[in-house]
Amino acid sequence: MARVYNFSAGPSTLPESVLRIAADEMLDYQGSGQSVMEMSHRSKTYDAIIKECEALLREVMNIPSNYKVLFLQGGASSQFGMIPLNLMNGSGKADFNITGQWANKAYQESARYGEAHIVASSKDKTFSYIPAWKAEDFTEDADFVHICVNNTIYGTRFTELPETGNVPLIGDISSCALSEPIDVSKFGMLYAGAQKNMGPAGLTVVIIREDLIGNARDITPTMFNYKTHADNDSMFNTPPCYAIYICKLVLEWIKNEIGGLENMKEINEKKAAVLYDFLDSSEMFKGTVEKKDRSLMNVPFVTGNEELDAKFVKEAAAAGFINLKGHRSVGGMRASIYNAMPIEGVEKLVAFMKAFEENNK
């Protein structure tokens, strides 16, 4: 069976070698006589899997020891609510940079619990750039500042982090986790839905500085309190066992086959350049984002003609390049080229785009 090149924004393509290991171990995980899917999460065998996943994540991301790693459920979207419940508990104020739909959703959810401030926004130009903000823009006594580090829908990313002083910076890294090194110590908290770059859907990873845990509002449900999960090593209830196992395999792939996040970044930069260079030279296809803010992971582009866009998406799918339709709020196309997308996939896509342009002049 031929595998397609899957440009889905999420859930998304996984490294083939990871899928092969999972297939090999499906019926009998390392002599245990069971699938990881069937295993008690309290068993010794499973305990080793979740511990190894955390250890690998700490190693690969260089997570300082005063940060907890939590393996949760509910998606990044649940974090939009957990963040204010747990952290909007001093002044009750928080600052937001609205760089797209996800950032806006985080803002809206916080606004239900406290004073959420929009400090910057790129809504005026359909979120096609990262808006600048200055130190004096921030609320001095805010409980946190929130950014969406990579904007999955619009294809922008922060290349410079804001200086927030003592105010904890919170980053949504759902669509850029593990794509390049990130200085965890610059953040109070990072979080990601795993289904873009870390594994399958069902797992949400939270990396949070220890001093930020334990101040949740009284109304916070037990399951939404970071302390509950921190105190129980993500085993307060049944964790998303199988997704954590696949995440562990993805981390092993990054560590052993790729050679770490510096190498991952280099590969991702090369891969993205193949597509961006073509977009910059094409008469038909155009990128939609300001060059300096271009994402390495999500590349939106348009022809400027909706019918032609639709024709392209259809013909591309028939040729084995699937999920290239842009988000419904932007239209056009979007190629999500996460870690697991091989560079050949992008090279072949570009060759297909060139031929399409030639044939549709």
Ligand X SMILES: *Cc1c(COP(=O)(O)O)cnc(C)c1O
Would you name the residues annotated as active-site residues? 102, 172, 196
Q: Each residue of 251-284: b (16+ CB within 10 Å) or e? A: bbbbeeebeebeebbebbeebbebbbebbeebeb
Specify the residue for token string 């950014």: 147
Query: In this structure, what token pair is assigned to residue 165?
Result: 């002083």
What residues numbered 144-183 form the site for ligand X, per CB under 6 A?
148, 152, 172, 174-175
Q: How far is the CB of 6 from ligand X (least distance, A)?
A: 16
What residues numbered 181-240 form the site for ligand X, per CB under 6 A?
193, 196
Q: How far is the CB of 107 from ligand X (least distance, A)?
A: 12
- Residue closer to ligand X, measured from CB, 196 or 271: 196
| CB-based contact 103:96 (threshold 8 Å) | yes
Taking CA atoms, 83 is separated from 11, 209, 218, 229, 344, in Å, by: 23, 13, 14, 14, 39
For the chain, the straight-line distance linking the first and the last C-alpha, in angstroms and rounded, comes to: 34
Spatial separation of the C-alpha atoms in residues 74 and 83, rounded to whole Å: 13
Is 241 a binder of ligand X (CB under 6 A)? no
- Choices 30-38, 64-72, 75-83, 350-358; region in contact with ligand X by CB under 6 A: 75-83
Q: How far is the CB of 279 from ligand X (least distance, A)?
A: 21
Is 299 a binder of ligand X (CB under 6 A)? no
Q: How far is the CB of 172 from ligand X (least distance, A)?
A: 5
Q: How far is the CB of 196 from ligand X (least distance, A)?
A: 6
User: How many residues does this entry show for the chain?
Assistant: 361
Instruction: Please give the size of the binding site for ligand X, defined by CB under 6 A.
Output: 12
What residues numbered 3-22 form the site for ligand X, per CB under 6 A?
10
Q: How far is the CB of 151 from ligand X (least distance, A)?
A: 7
- Residue closer to ligand X, measured from CB, 76 or 264: 76
Task: Name residue 172's beta-bridge partners.
Answer: 148, 191
User: Quick count: other Cβ atoms within 10 Å of Cβ 151?
Assistant: 29
- Residue closer to ligand X, measured from CB, 195 or 220: 195
Q: 3-class SS at 26?
A: coil
Answer for which of 8, 35, 73, 77 binds ligand X (CB under 6 A) is 77
What residues numbered 260-289 form the site for ligand X, per CB under 6 A?
none
- Choices 16-24, 71-79, 86-94, 232-240; region in contact with ligand X by CB under 6 A: 71-79
The DSSP string of 197-249 is: TTSSTT-EEEEEEGGGTT---TT--GGG-HHHHHHTTT-SS---HHHHHHHHH
Sheet hosting strand 298-302, strand order edge to edge: 286-287, 298-302, 333-336
- Residue closer to ligand X, measured from CB, 102 or 187: 102
- Residue closer to ligand X, measured from CB, 29 or 325: 325
- Choices 74-82, 237-245, 256-264, 327-335; region in contact with ligand X by CB under 6 A: 74-82
Query: In this structure, what token pair is assigned to residue 25?
Result: 């171990």
- Residue closer to ligand X, measured from CB, 49 or 190: 190
Q: List interacting residues with ligand X (CB under 6 A).
A: 10, 75-77, 102, 148, 152, 172, 174-175, 193, 196
